[in-house]
Chains A and B, each alone.
Chain A
Amino acid sequence: GQNIDQPTEMTATEGAIVQINCTYQTSGFNGLFWYQQHAGEAPTFLSYNVLDGLEEKGRFSSFLSRSKGYSYLLLKELQMKDSASYLCAAMDSNYQLIWGAGTKLIIKP
């Protein structure tokens, strides 16, 4: 079956760095997405990886290892506004997104 695993909740301190891990198993693979979702709002796109390696975009970076079925989202210089849920989603061979349950990130001052 298809499955996405990510931690349920993480806590970090303002100004620090946090890494949110995601492992996936899908029927075929057409890329790995990360979305940010604030409570009561729709998800917003953060990153897309289809090749192995690290993609950096400002304070956020995303890494992919296809051989390991593994990705992480790295958030640097954490700000209070980064408190949100982070959703990992893998696109399968039918170009359908398989969603993880999300990681709730709590930022403490």
Chain B
Amino acid sequence: GAVVSQHPSWVICKSGTSVKIECRSLDFQATTMFWYRQFPKQSLMLMATSNEGSKATYEQGVEKDKFLINHASLTLSTLTVTSAHPEDSSFYICSAREAGVIYEQYFGPGTRLTVT
């Protein structure tokens, strides 16, 4: 149980275009989802926290107009990187927290984004 999927697993896009990444909880209801970014040889950096049905809370330094997060249902959250630039190339990972379970986060497999 507690499986989180991400789609796509990798994507290459041209500079200036937008990319949408989906994060789904397959067998549980995720009231909270987290979006992380990880650059090579660095740790996870929390970008934003999203609660189902409400606006995402962005971490300091993360542009909310550039990284659009939607958490419209209890099983799906999306991250859209708008007007992508090469410096946005990174490994994006989502995690989900089940309703009433505070201490565990279940991670998706990650999405490798390369902007050319």
Contacts and interface: CB of A to CB of B under 8 A. Distances in A.
A99 B107 CA distance: 14
Contacts of A95: 102-103
A41 B105 contact: no
A42 B23 CA distance: 13
A87 B103 contact: no
Interface SS of chain A: helix, strand, loop or mixed?
loop
Size band of the interface chain A makes with B = 20 to 34
B103 A41 contact: no
Nearest to B104: A45
A42 B93 contact: yes
A53 interface: no
A95 B107 CA distance: 16
Contact of B107 (A30, A40, A44, A101): A44
B103 A99 contact: no
A70 interface: no
Interface in A44-73: 44-45, 48, 50
Given A99-B43, A99-B44, A40 B91 contact: yes
Interface string A74-109: 000000000000010001000111011110100000
Contact of B109 (A41, A96, A97): A41
B48 to A, nearest CB: 12
Contacts of A31: 103
A30 B101 CA distance: 13
A95 B76 CA distance: 21
The winner among B44, B93, B108 for most chain A CB atoms within 10 A is B44
Interface of A: 30-31, 40-45, 48, 50, 87, 91, 95-97, 99-102, 104
13 contacts: A30-B102, A30-B103, A40-B110, A42-B107, A42-B110, A45-B104, A95-B103, A96-B49, A99-B43, A99-B44, A99-B45, A100-B43, A102-B42
